[in-house]
Amino acid sequence: MERWRRARGWCMAKGRCQFVLTVAMVTLLTGLCCALAMAPKWALPKIRAAQEASTESLGQAPADDPRLAAVRRTLEPFGPIESIRVPGDDATASLVVGHPGHRADLEVLAGELPAATAAITELWGPNWAQSALVVVAATPSEFAALVRAGAEMPGEVAAASVSDPFVRGRQPTGQRVVFSPDAGRRLSPDGLRTLLRHELTHIAARAETADGAPQWMLEGFAEYAAHRGRGHHFAEIAPTVNAALHAGTLPGDLPQDTAFAGASAVAAYEEAWTACAFVAEKYDETRLVELYRRLAEQRQDAASEDRVLREVLGIGRADFVADWRSWLSSQVV
């Protein structure tokens, strides 16, 4: 007992207890390390290196998709990225990208892409990528950045397609369809699907479309493709035109390019659709596509439009407009 008291007193004096504990701990850890080093490998637990979490499992855009390179820098400041891969018939995949707050819109668009791609290919032909990058913006600023607009897009614009600068006839790069942040709120799911087909048509035809080609043909053809085979009736597709027809008012001419913006835009898009629907019904879709290709080759004026119409449809521009107006009169419901 006396020895124990002496040892205890020695340890407590001048911090000797802390010294003894430190020496004991170092000795214990040294022995443990030596034991681990000498133990056979089968006796040791398997230590795995920390693995990077799967971006797919987090719903984020896969880092290995090259189509994201041009948009990732724009998207990331606006929040986490979600993506849905949509396989194609030829093993190519489309990609629908956005943010968690727009998950419902992403799913609607992803679900429509296979049918939309097949329908546009059936009309236009297979000479296009048959896949797309579709992006849903989170804010007006992000929308403007994704479509490379110098300022925020007008509020009435629900979607737009964009590509890198290119020479007509070559395959465009950097193509994508971008939806505005409120497109899903303004449009029904059916409206989103229709708008996707419209913009996807612009993607398909872009390689053969010159800047400045007649908007009545470019937008009318995209509208025709968007509604084709979907059971939409004249009054559903062109309610403004239908109302004007009921009031006894017919368009005097094909809509001018300037009419596709501002207050006149709704009527211009509807009139353009009617012109293309008229060509498809009176002639056929093959000649409608041919008319698009010819008119989209370059900027046109009334004289060059007249020449193309004669070569493709066998009728001059004045007679074409007259026949179109007569066809419109027969569509009143």
Which tokens belong to 157? 């614009």
Burial of 151 (0-12, 13-18, 19+ CB in 10 A): exposed
Identity of the amino acid at 110: A
How high is the mean pLDDT of the chain?
82
168 in helix, strand or coil? coil
| C-beta of residue 120 within 8 angstroms of C-beta of residue 225 | yes
User: Degrees (nearest 5) of the Cα angle 83, 185, 142?
Assistant: 55
Question: Which pLDDT band, with edges at 50, 70 and 90, does 199 fall under?
Answer: very high
Region of 248 on the Ramachandran plot (φ > 0 left; ψ -120 to 50 alpha; else beta): left
pTM comes to 0.79
pLDDT at res. 88? 77
Spacing of C-alpha 321 from chain mean position: 35
pLDDT digits 0-9 by tens, 227-272: 999 999 999 999 999 999 999 999 999 999 999 988 999 999 999 9
pLDDT at 85 over 50: yes
Residues with Cβ within 8 Å of 136's Cβ and at least 6 positions away in sequence, in order, are: 96, 97, 98, 99, 102, 105, 106, 109, 178, 179, 181, 183, 184
Long-range contacts, stretch 306-313, CB < 8 angstroms, 24+ apart: 312/287, 313/279, 313/283, 313/287
φ, ψ at 135 (rounded to 5°): -125, 135
